[in-house]
């Protein structure tokens, strides 16, 4: 059963575990005792009980001594329990029979995927394809691997293949539904989940994905009903509690949300969305030190997560830790990456630091603070996208890039450094090559467009952003397309696009904010603008909306 998560890395780790506990096709023929053991293990895994599957398989091995014939099922059960090392040892301990090799290689690939070893996973899945090319669960695993590697278009193709092979496979249906959500929006995904649940009304993966989507659409009562059904179907599934915590947080019931989240123990300690939720809840409860602790851990893990950075800045300001606030976020302001709230916070921090001294430096700090506060007051709309600064010298980054120009980990820091060094033309060629090498990746298309925007080529950037939107139309794409359309003097098109996005994602405060900025000053939209501003206020502008622990997407926020 797929345990869906709110951010891309966390989401796909959950898919790995889910796929590991998916039912394997029982081999045809063979000893009746072996076939019976496999069948019993399949049934146990299908109902979410890998422990019973392990016990049954070990008993069958003791009775039949058919280790090789049952090895893949034992490894699958152990992986379903979360014990990758034990599953790996079982597979390494002997051979696989021809009728179990497909499952064995699939499990080996899932272990590698859980370890973050994409090459190892790809190699194992290739072996599995040679043996079992029509295994729908294998194609679900391949789709998860491709999504983890940033190959969104290829991931969708693999998920489509899984559904075509087995239109009733609940794991394939759940994953395809979440990819539809990512590509087209929340409303587009709902019919998919609803149709799938008609086939599998008690499937945890589908209930989880459906509930998360309902939360993000603002359908809280319906989401709670589905979450409670998920809890009834699988009482040990902490995802139901996490969904309930998000609904409580959205409703402003901070203490209830904290209580529910605490009951999940450490199950979601390293999930980015849960880390953000913890930070927001502790902030609301006045536990600022705990909020900062959770948020700093998240920002250190995901330094490019702009929403997490923004919430951390709020928490540091509440703590009056002005020095840490300036040290962490003044660079965001300087790079033009900060919205008005963050600019104002950094400005306030500079003025508070200046108040502690009376020398020339204090005077300079005070003037900088006042200038930033004035700048924040004059800002409207969303801040334009800007590259995060690189941490190494241009020469070092250039050498890393030359060693492997296809690797995003080498190309992206190099592009950032080139932009900082005012070599945008060179940065464009590097970004374009990265995009060509990763044509099915949203982020690669966005990066190429970002460099074009920095160079003042809004129309060219729109092409890259449109290509990105065709793969995955999320908030990051929306903000960039809005900025590019307005830079190209196509404000009406920007408003129309954002309205369509808001229709699909009715709780998106970002979309509301962009639309409000577009409507400002338009007398014909005065009534609509007032309603929109009320909606934004109702959704909590003082702290960002907590996101549902959905299976979609990139970084939280």
Region 96-107 average pLDDT: 93
Q: Is 182 exposed, middle or buried (0-12, 13-18, 19+ CB in 10 A)?
A: buried
The predicted structure's pLDDT at residue 509: 81
The encoded tokens of residue 309 equal 């950075």
Q: Annotate 272-301 with b (16+ C-beta within 10 A) or e (fewer).
A: bbbbbbbbbbbbbeebbebbbebbbbbbee
At 253-285, the pLDDT tens digits run: 999 999 999 998 888 888 888 899 999 899 989
Sign for the pseudo-dihedral over CA of 411, 413, 417, 422: positive
The predicted structure's pLDDT at residue 392: 57
Confidence of residue 301 (pLDDT cuts 50, 70, 90): confident
The predicted structure's pLDDT at residue 11: 37
Q: Tokens 């703590």 correspond to what residue?
A: 319
**CA distances (Å), origin 510, targets 8, 485, 498, 506, 514:** 20, 16, 10, 10, 6
Cα 188 from chain centroid (whole Å): 19
Question: In the predicted model, is pLDDT for residue 289 greater than 90?
Answer: yes
The encoded tokens of residue 476 equal 């990051």
The predicted structure's pLDDT at residue 358: 66
Cα 429 from chain centroid (whole Å): 28
Most confident by average pLDDT, 18-27, 237-246, 395-404: 237-246
Question: In the predicted model, is pLDDT for residue 523 greater than 90?
Answer: no
At 326-380, the pLDDT tens digits run: 999 988 888 777 778 888 999 999 999 988 766 778 888 889 989 988 888 876 5
- DSSP H or E stretch at residue 227: helix 220-233
d(CA 100, CA 111): 17
Question: In the predicted model, is pLDDT for residue 130 greater than 80?
Answer: yes
- Spatial CB neighbours of 292, under 8 Å, sequence gap ≥ 6: 279, 312, 315, 316, 319, 321
Whether residue 128 contacts residue 109, with contact meaning beta carbons closer than 8 Å, is answered with yes
The predicted structure's pLDDT at residue 401: 82
- Spatial CB neighbours of 376, under 8 Å, sequence gap ≥ 6: 340, 341, 343, 344, 347
The encoded tokens of residue 261 equal 């989240």
Residue predicted with more confidence, 396 or 556 = 396
Q: Tokens 């064995």 correspond to what residue?
A: 104
Nearest-CA neighbor of 206 among 185, 227, 188?
227
Confidence of residue 551 (pLDDT cuts 50, 70, 90): very low
Least confident of 89-103, 282-296, 338-352: 338-352
Residues in the chain, total: 557
The predicted structure's pLDDT at residue 153: 83
Sign for the pseudo-dihedral over CA of 121, 127, 133, 134: negative
The predicted structure's pLDDT at residue 402: 85
The predicted structure's pLDDT at residue 28: 38
The predicted structure's pLDDT at residue 74: 94
Question: In the predicted model, is pLDDT for residue 484 greater than 80?
Answer: yes
At 436-475, the pLDDT tens digits run: 888 778 888 889 999 999 999 999 999 999 988 888 888 8
**CA distances (Å), origin 43, targets 36, 39, 201, 296:** 11, 6, 17, 43
- pTM: predicted TM-score of the whole model, two decimal places: 0.68
At 162-216, the pLDDT tens digits run: 999 999 888 888 888 888 888 888 888 998 899 889 988 998 889 999 999 999 8
Whether residue 472 contacts residue 442, with contact meaning beta carbons closer than 8 Å, is answered with yes
d(CA 380, CA 374): 12
Confidence of residue 139 (pLDDT cuts 50, 70, 90): very high
Q: Which domains are delineated in the chain?
A: 288-378 (1.25.40), 387-466 (1.25.40.10)
Q: Tokens 């920007």 correspond to what residue?
A: 494
Q: Work out the mean pLDDT of the chain and round it to a whole number.
A: 83
At 378-398, the pLDDT tens digits run: 765 444 444 445 555 788 888
Rg (CA), the chain: 25
Question: In the predicted model, is pLDDT for residue 539 greater than 80?
Answer: no
């Amino acid at each position: 059963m797929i345990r869906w998560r709110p951010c891309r890395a966390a989401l796909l780790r959950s898919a790995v575990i889910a796929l590991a506990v998916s039912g394997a096709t029982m081999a045809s023929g063979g000893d009746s005792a072996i076939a019976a053991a496999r069948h019993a293990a399949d049934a146990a895994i299908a109902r979410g009980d890998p422990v019973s599957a392990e016990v049954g398989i070990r008993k069958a091995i003791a009775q039949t001594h058919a280790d090789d014939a049952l090895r893949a099922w034992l490894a699958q059960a152990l992986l379903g329990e979360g014990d990758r090392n034990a599953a790996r040892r079982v597979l390494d301990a002997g051979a696989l029979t021809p009728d179990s090799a497909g499952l064995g290689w699939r499990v080996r690939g899932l272990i590698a995927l859980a370890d973050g070893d994409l090459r190892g996973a790809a190699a194992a899945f290739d072996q599995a394809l040679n043996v079992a090319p029509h295994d729908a669960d294998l194609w679900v695993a391949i789709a998860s691997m491709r999504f983890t590697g940033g190959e969104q278009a290829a991931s969708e193709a693999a998920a489509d293949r899984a559904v075509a092979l087995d239109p009733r496979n609940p794991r394939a249906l759940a994953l395809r539904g979440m990819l539809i959500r990512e590509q087209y929006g929340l409303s587009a995904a709902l019919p998919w989940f609803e149709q799938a649940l008609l086939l599998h009304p008690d499937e945890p993966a589908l209930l989880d994905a459906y509930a998360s989507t309902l939360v993000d659409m603002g359908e809280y009562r319906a989401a709670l009903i589905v979450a409670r059904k998920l809890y009834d179907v699988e009482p040990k599934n902490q995802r139901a509690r996490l969904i309930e915590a998000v609904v409580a947080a959205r409703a402003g019931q901070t203490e209830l949300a904290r209580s529910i989240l605490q009951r999940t123990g450490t199950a979601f300690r390293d999930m980015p969305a849960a880390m953000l939720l913890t930070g927001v809840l502790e902030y609301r409860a006045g536990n600022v030190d705990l909020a900062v602790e959770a948020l700093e851990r998240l920002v250190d893990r995901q330094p490019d997560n702009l929403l997490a950075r923004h919430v951390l800045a709020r928490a540091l300001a509440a703590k009056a830790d002005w020095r840490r606030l300036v040290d962490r976020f003044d660079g965001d302001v300087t790079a033009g990456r900060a919205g008005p709230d963050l600019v104002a916070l950094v400005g306030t921090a500079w003025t508070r630091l200046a108040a502690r001294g009376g020398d020339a430096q204090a005077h300079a700090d005070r003037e900088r603070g006042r200038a930033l506060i004035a700048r924040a007051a004059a800002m409207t709309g969303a801040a334009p996208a800007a590259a995060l600064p690189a941490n190494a010298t241009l020469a070092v980054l250039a050498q890393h890039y030359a060693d492997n120009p296809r690797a995003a980990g080498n190309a992206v820091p190099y592009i950032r450094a080139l932009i900082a060094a005012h070599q945008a033309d060179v940065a464009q060629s590097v970004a374009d090559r990265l995009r060509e090498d990763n044509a099915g990746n949203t982020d690669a298309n966005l990066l190429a467009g970002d460099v074009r925007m920095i160079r003042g080529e809004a129309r060219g950037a729109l092409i890259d952003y449109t290509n990105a939107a065709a793969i995955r139309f999320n908030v990051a794409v929306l903000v960039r397309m809005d900025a590019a359309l307005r830079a190209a003097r196509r404000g009406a098109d920007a408003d129309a696009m954002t309205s369509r996005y808001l229709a699909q994602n009715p709780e998106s405060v970002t979309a509301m904010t962009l639309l409000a900025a577009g409507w400002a000053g338009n007398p014909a939209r005065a009534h609509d603008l007032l309603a929109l501003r009320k909606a934004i206020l109702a959704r909590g502008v003082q702290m960002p909306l907590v996101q549902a622990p959905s299976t979609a997407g990139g970084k939280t926020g």
